[in-house]
Chains A and B, each alone.
Chain A
Amino acid sequence: MTPTEDFVWKVAGAAGEGIMTTGLLFSKTCARHGWYIFDYTEYPSLIRGGHNTYQVAAGKNPIYSQKEKVDLLIALNQDGIEQHQEEVGENSLLVFDQEHQKIEIEKYNLAAKLIDLPMVRLAKEAGGEELMANNVALGASVYLLGLDLDVLNQVIADVFADKGQKVIAPNQQAARAGYNFVKKQTQPQLSISKQSSNHLTMTGNEAVALGAIAGGLQFYAAYPMTPSSSILHYLAKNAHTAKIVVKHAEDEISVINMAIGASFAGARAMVGTSGGGFCLMVEALGMAGITELPIVIFEGQRPGPALGLPTWTDQGDLKFVISASHGEFPRFVLVPGDAQEAFEMTRKALILAETYQTPVIILSDKYLAESRFTINLATTTFTNGRFGIAATPTADKTGFFPRYKLGDSPVSSRSLPGTAGGVYIANSDDHDEYGLSSEESSMRTNQVDKRNRKLELMRSEIPKQFWEEEPQSVLTFISFGSTKGTIKSAREILTKEGILTNHLNLSWLWPCPKEQIKQVLDNSKNTVVVEGNSEGQLVNLIAQETGIIIKNRLNRYDGRPFYPEEIVDYAKSSV
Chain B
Amino acid sequence: MIMPKVPFDPTWCPGCGNYAIWASLKKGLVDAGNPAEKTVIFYDVGCSGNMTNFNTYYGFHTLHGRALPTAVGTKLANHGLTVVVVIGDGGCYGEGGTHLINLMRGNHDITVIVHNNHRYSLTTGQTSPTTEKGDKTKSTPEGAIEEPINPIAIALSNHGTFVAREFAPDINRLSSRITQAIKHPGFSLIDTLQPCPVFNPHQSLEWYRERLIKLEDEGHSPDNLNDAWKQAMRIDKLPIGLFYEEVKPAYHEQVTELKDGPLVAKSIETIDLSILLEEFK
Contact = CB atoms under 8 A, between A and B. Distances in A.
Chain A bound to chain B: yes
Interface of A: 31-32, 158, 199-202, 206, 210, 213-216, 218-219, 221, 238-245, 247, 249-251, 253-255, 257-269, 283-284, 287, 291, 377, 380-386, 398-400, 416-429, 434-437
Q: Which of B61, B98, B99, B258 has the most CB of A within 10 A?
A: B61
Contact of A218 (B68, B80, B263, B274): B263
Given A265-B73, A436-B7, A253 B66 contact: yes
Contacts of A283: 63
A200 B277 contact: yes
A253 B91 CA distance: 14
Nearest to B252: A245
Nearest to B50: A437
Given A243-B266, A258-B72, A265-B77, A400 B56 contact: yes
B59 interface: yes
A400 B56 CA distance: 7
B81 interface: yes
B208 interface: no
Q: Which of under 10, 10 to 19, 20 to 34, or 35 or more describes the interface residues of B?
A: 35 or more
B77 A219 contact: yes
B77 A266 contact: yes
Contact of B270 (A260, A383, A420): A383
A266 B264 contact: yes
Q: Which of A259, A418, A434 has the most CB of B within 10 A?
A: A418
B197 to A, nearest CB: 24
Nearest to A385: B269
A218 B268 contact: yes
Given A253-B66, A264-B60, A417 B270 contact: no
Interface of B: 4-5, 7-8, 35-38, 40, 42, 52-53, 56-63, 66, 68-78, 80-81, 98-99, 101-103, 255-258, 263-264, 266, 268-277, 279-281
B7 A419 contact: no
Contacts of B274: 380-381
5 contacts: A250-B101, A254-B66, A380-B277, A418-B78, A423-B37
Given A210-B277, A254-B98, A382 B257 contact: no
B4 A399 contact: yes
The 8 closest A-B CB pairs, nearest first, are A261-B73, A216-B268, A258-B73, A265-B77, A250-B102, A262-B77, A267-B77, A261-B70
Contact of A213 (B4, B60, B257, B273): B273
Contact of A400 (B7, B40, B263, B270): B7
A245 B77 CA distance: 8
A257 B273 contact: no
Q: Which of B38, B68, B271, B272 has the most CB of A within 10 A?
A: B271
B74 A264 contact: yes
Given A218-B264, A251-B98, A265-B264, A423 B56 contact: yes
A257 B62 contact: yes
Contacts of B58: 417-418, 422-425
A222 to B, nearest CB: 13
Given A200-B280, A425-B53, A418 B77 contact: no
A436 B256 CA distance: 37
Given A261-B69, A266-B77, A382-B270, A426 B37 contact: no
B273 A417 contact: no
Nearest to B8: A436
A259 B73 contact: yes
A259 B71 CA distance: 10
Contacts of A259: 73
Q: Which of B38, B52, B68, B256 has the most CB of A within 10 A?
A: B52
B37 A419 contact: yes
B36 to A, nearest CB: 8
A366 B274 CA distance: 27
B37 A418 contact: yes
A429 B61 contact: yes
B69 A249 contact: yes
A268 B268 contact: yes
